[in-house]
Structure 1
C-alpha cells in the first residue's frame, strides 16, 4: 500500500466543514493555538457569515489551518505518505503535511500569499473571476482568448481573468457546447494578472523556515517531485502566474508508487477528479466519513 495525500484548494468551504473534526483533541489544540496567536478561529468563522468563507484573505489561511488540524489528528493513525500534492493554495499545505513547514510559518505564508494576490488584482481596477470549463480540449479553449489557470484533464480546465472578460467568455464557451461552472473566488489565480504578487510572495517564502520534506511534494506547475526547500520556494512563487498542471500531479502520484489517495478537504473535488483520472485506484475524501478514525480505518482496509 502506498498512500498519497491530496490537499484541497479554495471552493469547498461551507458551514459544516469542521464536522468531521469534531471531538478530536489534536485538531482543537491546533485551533486554540492559532486563535491565541491572532488568527481567525475556524470554529467561529463557520458559524458566522458564509460570505466571509469565500474572501481570499480569509479563505487561504483558513484552508491551511483546517487541513493542518486534520493532519495533526490523522498522521498518527496513518502510514507515512509516499507523496503529497496540493491544489493551488493546497500546495502550501502540502509542505506542512510533508514535514517541511511548521504551522506558524504555514499560516503566515498563506496570509502573505492572499494579501499579495489581492493587491495584484486591485491593480487591475476590476474584480477577478474563475470558471471551470468541461468539454473542450486545450487548443480549442485557448482559441477563445482566455488564460488557463488550472489543467485538470484533457477536457477539464479552469480559466481566469477579470469578471467582465470571464462573463463574455462564458457565453461564448456555452455556445460552443462546453459545460461551465463559476468558482467562488474573486481573483484570477494562476494567470498573468498575478504577476505583481510574485516578488512579494517570493520574499516571504525566502524568509520562511523551510526544511527538506520527509516525502516528495509534487510541484503544481509541472507535477515533478520536490525534495529541496529552494525548489519549493521557486515552485510556490511561480505557481501564482503559471498554469497548475493538476492532471500531471495526479500522474506523478501514481508514478511515485501511490496506490490509494486521501483528500484532506474541505469538500471532495480533488477525490472526484482523481477517481476519473486514475480509474481503479481507491480514492476518498475526509468529507466522505463521519470521523477521522473512519477515514483511517478505510486506509487500513486497503492494505488487507
Structure 2
C-alpha cells in the first residue's frame, strides 16, 4: 500500500498536565520547547500552568500551549514520518490548530508561530472582554442547516461545522443556553465547552485588524505541502491568501466537515492527529471509517506511534 498521510492539528479542549511528557524525552522536541520560552509567553512557569486547571484551560495560556505541543511533536516525528510516508498528502488544523498546520506546511517559522498563538489569544481575549459571559457549546441531532437557523434565531452563531447533524456554536452564554433549551424538546443534544470566548463568530471582530497586523509583520511563504483552509476546506495557494484566510477564521465558521471530506478527495489513507487529545481522529473515523486514524494521545511513546505508522505502510 502506498500511504497518503494527513497531519491533523486540533484546537482547545484536550490539553492536560502531562501533554509535554513524551516530548521532553525527545531531543528535537525538547530543544524546540526550550527555544519557545513558554515561561515568558505564559507569564508564569510552565509547570505552574500545567498543574492549575484554571490556567491550563484559560484561553490566554491554552492557545500557545497547544501550538507549542503540536509543533514540538512535529519536530520529533518529521524525519521518521518522511522516511515512512514521504511528505504529507495534506495538513489541516482545527481552530487554533490551524496555526500549527501553517507552520508544518512551511508558511510560518515554527517558533514564531508559538509567539503568534500567544498574541492571537491575547487579542481574542481582549475582544471577548467587550462582551463578557460568552463561550462555545456543542449541538447535535438535527441537520446542520436547520441547527444554524435555530441558533441564529436565538442570537447565537455556528462556529465550527463538524458533521451533517453536529456543530459547535458560539455566542453569549445566555443566547447559547436559550438555544439549548429551545432545541432540547426536539431531541437536540448540547453541552458547554471549557472555552470562555466565542471563537469563529462575529463577537471576535475587534481582534481581526490587530491580528492582521501581526501577520503582516511576519515572514510568510507559500505552502510547501498541501494545506487546507479551515473556513472553506479548500487548498491554500500562496502566502497572501494564507494571511487573509487565517484572519477570516477568527470571525467566520470553520468548515471542519469539509476539511475531512477534502482528505478523502486527496486520497488520504492514514491520518495522524498531533494532539493534545484525540477529538479529530475520532471525528474522521466516524465520518470516513476507511481512513486509519490515530492520535499521539493513543500511544505511550513516540516509538509506539512510529511503529503503528510503519504497519500501515506494509
Q: TM-score by structure 2 length?
A: 0.92
Does residue 50 (structure 1) correspond to residue 53 (structure 2)? The answer is yes
Does residue 214 (structure 1) correspond to residue 224 (structure 2)? The answer is yes
- Mapped to 2, the partners of 1:207 and 1:18 lie a distance apart of 29
Q: Give the one of 118, 124, 135 matched to 1:117.
A: 124
Are the equivalent residues in 2 in contact too, given 1:133–1:158 (CA < 8 A)?
yes
Are the equivalent residues in 1 in contact too, given 2:105–2:223 (CA < 8 A)?
yes
Q: Displacement, 1:31?
A: 1.7
Partner of 2:171: 161
Partner of 1:14: 16
| Superposition RMSD in Å | 1.6
Offset from partner CA, 1:61-110 (integer Å, 9 cap, x none): 11111111111001011022111000000011001111221123202221
Does residue 249 (structure 1) correspond to residue 251 (structure 2)? The answer is no
14-23 or 278-287, larger mean C-alpha shift: 14-23
- Mapped to 2, the partners of 1:100 and 1:135 lie a distance apart of 37
Does residue 138 (structure 1) correspond to residue 141 (structure 2)? The answer is no
Structure 2's unaligned 5+ residue stretches are none
- Mapped to 2, the partners of 1:228 and 1:132 lie a distance apart of 33
Offset from partner CA, 1:103-141 (integer Å, 9 cap, x none): 2320222122112211111112x2211111111112321
Q: Displacement, 1:202?
A: 1.0
Partner of 1:282: 292
- Mapped to 2, the partners of 1:168 and 1:121 lie a distance apart of 20
Partner of 1:78: 81
Q: Displacement, 1:38?
A: 2.4
Count the aligned residue pairs: 303
- Mapped to 2, the partners of 1:29 and 1:253 lie a distance apart of 32
For residue 270 of structure 1, give the secondary structure of its aligned residue in structure 2: helix
Partner of 1:68: 71
Does residue 184 (structure 1) correspond to residue 194 (structure 2)? The answer is yes
- Mapped to 2, the partners of 1:89 and 1:215 lie a distance apart of 19
Q: Displacement, 1:45?
A: 4.6
Are the equivalent residues in 2 in contact too, given 1:45–1:53 (CA < 8 A)?
no
- Mapped to 2, the partners of 1:107 and 1:266 lie a distance apart of 15
Partner of 2:133: 127
Q: Displacement, 1:266?
A: 0.3
Offset from partner CA, 1:120-170 (integer Å, 9 cap, x none): 11112x221111111111232123223100000100100010112212222
Runs of 4+ deviating beyond 3 Å: 40-43
9-18 or 38-47, larger mean C-alpha shift: 38-47
- Mapped to 2, the partners of 1:274 and 1:166 lie a distance apart of 26
Q: Displacement, 1:173?
A: 2.3
Are the equivalent residues in 2 in contact too, given 1:5–1:263 (CA < 8 A)?
yes
For residue 29 of structure 1, give the secondary structure of its aligned residue in structure 2: helix
Q: Displacement, 1:222?
A: 0.5
Alpha carbons of structure 1 residues 137 and 290: separation in structure 2 relative to 1, 3 Å: same
Q: TM-score by structure 1 length?
A: 0.95
Q: Displacement, 1:2?
A: 0.5
